[in-house]
């Protein structure tokens, strides 16, 4: 099963992000459903059934303290001129340390997982872009927009099921 670690967002933050997302509706842009908005910490890819319990045990050993996360501004991967992914920034210096702790614990567990190739950038994916849609007006309006802060009290292990209707996420370990 496809697994990843994430921080879930409070409903109030999801509502603010969804309100901004509504301005992205145009051909070539697929919005992430409001209930699926989250901060991905580590994507593990396909993990065999027999390894899930080992992965859960490894993650249980990761030290976690509540984190204040500030949701401010938007951006795009690879860039705003040629976006593939539109995101909201998640600001918190300790998130990178948490990701290192998660990755280190998983590596020690010897559970075979997909290695992250890109440097960690804390964000919430708002939309995926195909065909060169123009998001410059959206980016300008929300470049410094404050979606609000929140306290993350935990991280979770989630399962991702892909379908033609989009991804469905299910929390399997809190």
DSSP assignments along 22-41, one per residue: GGG-STTEEEPPGGG-EEEE
Model confidence over 11-49: pLDDT tens digits? 999 999 999 999 999 999 999 999 999 999 999 999 998
DSSP character for 105?
H
This prediction's pTM: 0.94
Q: Is 65 a catalytic residue?
A: no
Pairing of strands 67-77, 156-161: unpaired
Among residues 37, 123, 142, 152, which one is catalytic? 123
pLDDT for 31 equals 95
CA torsion, points 92, 97, 98, 100, in degrees to nearest 10? 140
Q: What angle do CA 53, 6, 139 make, to 5 degrees?
A: 160
Model confidence over 4-19: pLDDT tens digits? 999 999 999 999 999 9
Q: Is 121 a catalytic residue?
A: no
pLDDT exceeds cutoff 70 at 174 = no
Model confidence over 108-152: pLDDT tens digits? 999 999 988 788 999 999 999 988 789 999 999 999 999 999 999
pLDDT exceeds cutoff 80 at 165 = no
pLDDT exceeds cutoff 80 at 164 = no
pLDDT exceeds cutoff 80 at 166 = no
pLDDT for 45 equals 94
Q: Which domains does the chain have, with CATH numbers?
A: 2-169 (3.90.1140.10)
Among residues 3, 5, 29, 38, which one is catalytic? 38
Mean pLDDT of 101-105: 96
Model confidence over 56-85: pLDDT tens digits? 999 999 999 999 999 999 999 999 999 999
């Amino acid at each position: 099963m496809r697994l990843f670690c994430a921080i879930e967002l409070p409903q109030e933050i999801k509502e603010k992000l969804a309100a901004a997302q509504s301005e992205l509706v145009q051909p070539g842009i697929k919005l992430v459903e409001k209930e699926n908005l989250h901060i991905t910490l580590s994507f593990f890819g396909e993990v065999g059934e027999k390894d899930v319990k080992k992965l859960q045990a490894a993650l249980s050993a990761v030290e976690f303290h509540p984190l204040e996360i500030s949701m401010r501004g938007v951006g795009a991967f690879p860039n705003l001129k040629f976006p593939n992914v539109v995101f909201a920034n998640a600001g918190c210096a300790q998130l990178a340390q948490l990701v290192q702790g998660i990755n280190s614990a998983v590596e020690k567990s010897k559970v075979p997982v997909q290695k992250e190739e890109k440097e960690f950038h804390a964000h919430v994916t708002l939309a995926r872009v195909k065909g060169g849609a123009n998001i410059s007006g959206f980016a300008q309006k929300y470049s410094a927009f404050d979606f609000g802060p929140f306290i993350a009290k935990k991280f979770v292990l989630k399962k991702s099921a892909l379908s033609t209707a989009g991804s469905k996420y299910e929390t399997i370990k809190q």
